[in-house]
Amino acid sequence: MNILVLGGDGYLGWPTALHLSARGHRVTIVDNLVRREYDREMGVDSLVPIAPLDERVKKWKEVSGRQIDLRIGNLTDAAFTYAAVADSKPEAIVHFGEQRSAPYSMIDREHAVYTQVNNVVGTLNVMYAIAELDPTIHLVKLGTMGEYGYPNIDIEEGFIEITHKGRTDVLPYPKQPGSFYHLSKVHDSANIMFACRVWGLRSTDLNQGIVYGQSTDETDLDPALGTRFDYDAVFGTVLNRFCVQAVMGHPLTVYGAGGQTRGMLNVRDTLACVTLALENPAEAGEFRVFNQFTESFSVRDMADMVKQASSRPVEIASGLANPRVEREEHYFNAANTKLLDLGLEPHLLTQAVIKDMLELVERHRARVDTDAIAPTVQWRLSASTLKTGDASTEASFLEV
């Protein structure tokens, strides 16, 4: 299959591009390299060193004999996006090409506006390029489980049957996203759903959980093929942070009550899920939603698992001030059967997997910047600005 991978220089885009290439698909990576810019802006870096994109691609050719093509440019530039689609003539587009950090989107007005414009306009351009150049192209779009928020009922895969006052309909699942980043993904999903309905596009929306792990069959072939490992406060994820803290002998920092429960998956399963979606495409006019995670854990659970896996003694610092406004104890039961039905065989978060992550951190411990770990972005207004929106009003909103 001829496939464009948008955002193919990122944490997941890169190993996905390699995996699809290894399976014999013809892959073109589209990226504007901005993920590397965010690191420079924030003054942080991946724990694992990342080769420049052209070197990575060259190394892949060397190691595998397979060619990955590159197009460097910005999806918000419609002329660039149309040319990428017109020239590559893909049968499918995998779209990782968005700003994907919730804290980054919450830094200030500029970052909120940047995130929503970058993500929404980039995706609109991709949708229009597909519609006008070849509406049979299958758009596989990365969304997030965070689009749903944390309702007090089971989360379904994109749609829910509602019976109300004696009538029944199947409607889009209500969304309660928790940052301007998560909101941008909700906006995208709504835009794409509409395009499938009125233009007959075919799309799969992958509502992905939090991905962990840095090892795949392809990236393991050479150090220059490695993908990112982010542990900083803005782009890092909680499990990576805990692993770094454990190795560095710092207490694991649990913000808030620690009952925040998240769907999670191994990076290997991301690759498998995207591949399953591509190789079993949506029908013309179909907008389908897959919840892409394999297990769920609370932040507390993750801290305990890291503590258990660590060969050194580990302290857990719990109940720290939470930089986010979120439910810290909540119901969470989300469906994830559609990808399993297509044949997904999950790699679970075992002690062995965590030990591998700890070992990875150990190997790169000289590169750890412990100053990058403490939260720098607050969801709440500062006390001086905020006259009325105290915790009690927030709580009352949440209970409505």
Q: What does the DSSP assignment read for 267-297?
A: HHHHHHHHHHHHHSPPPTT-EEEEEE-SEEE
Q: Residue 38 corresponds to which amino acid?
A: Y
Of residues 245-284, which lie at the interface with its own copies (CB under 8 A)?
A: 283-284
Of residues 19-78, which lie at the interface with its own copies (CB under 8 A)?
A: 78
- With respect to its own copies, which residue has the nearer C-beta, 87 or 132? 132
Report in angstroms the alpha-carbon separations of 263 from 137, 210, 253, 366: 29, 6, 20, 31
187: its two tokens:
């906006």
Is residue 203 within 8 A of residue 188, CB to CB? The reply is: no
- With respect to its own copies, which residue has the nearer C-beta, 57 or 140? 140
Catalytic residue among 81, 123, 144, 204: 144
- With respect to its own copies, which residue has the nearer C-beta, 170 or 352? 170
Taking CB under 8 A as the rule, does residue 128 contact its own copies?
A: yes
349: its two tokens:
């978060």
Taking CB under 8 A as the rule, does residue 348 contact its own copies?
A: no
Taking CB under 8 A as the rule, does residue 308 contact its own copies?
A: no
The answer to whether 144 is a known catalytic residue is yes
Q: In a 3-state reduction of DSSP, which class is residue 207?
A: strand
Taking CB under 8 A as the rule, does residue 132 contact its own copies?
A: yes
Q: Judged by CB under 8 A, how many residues of this single chain contact its own copies?
A: 75
In the complex, least distance from residue 186 CB atom to its own copies, rounded to whole angstroms: 6
Picking from 139, 157, 145, the residue whose alpha carbon sits closest to that of residue 278 is 139
377: its two tokens:
């972005």
Name beta bridge partners: 52: none
Among 63, 320, 325, 368, binds its own copies (CB under 8 A): 325
Q: What does the DSSP assignment read for 114-144?
A: HHHHHHHHHHHHHHHHHHHH-TT-EEEEEEE
Taking CB under 8 A as the rule, does residue 376 contact its own copies?
A: no
Is residue 94 within 8 A of residue 205, CB to CB? The reply is: no
In the complex, least distance from residue 234 CB atom to its own copies, rounded to whole angstroms: 17
In the complex, least distance from residue 391 CB atom to its own copies, rounded to whole angstroms: 9
Helix axes 267-279, 13-22, angle to 10 degrees: 60
The answer to whether 128 is a known catalytic residue is no
In the complex, least distance from residue 152 CB atom to its own copies, rounded to whole angstroms: 4
The answer to whether 331 is a known catalytic residue is no
In the complex, least distance from residue 361 CB atom to its own copies, rounded to whole angstroms: 32
Backbone angles phi, psi at 345, to 5 degrees: -115, 100
Catalytic residue among 104, 148, 181, 231: 181
Q: Residue 184 corresponds to which amino acid?
A: S
Which residue stretch of 105-113, 211-219, 244-252, 369-377 sits at the interface with its own copies (rule: CB under 8 A)?
A: 105-113
Which residues belong to the active site? Answer: 144, 181, 185
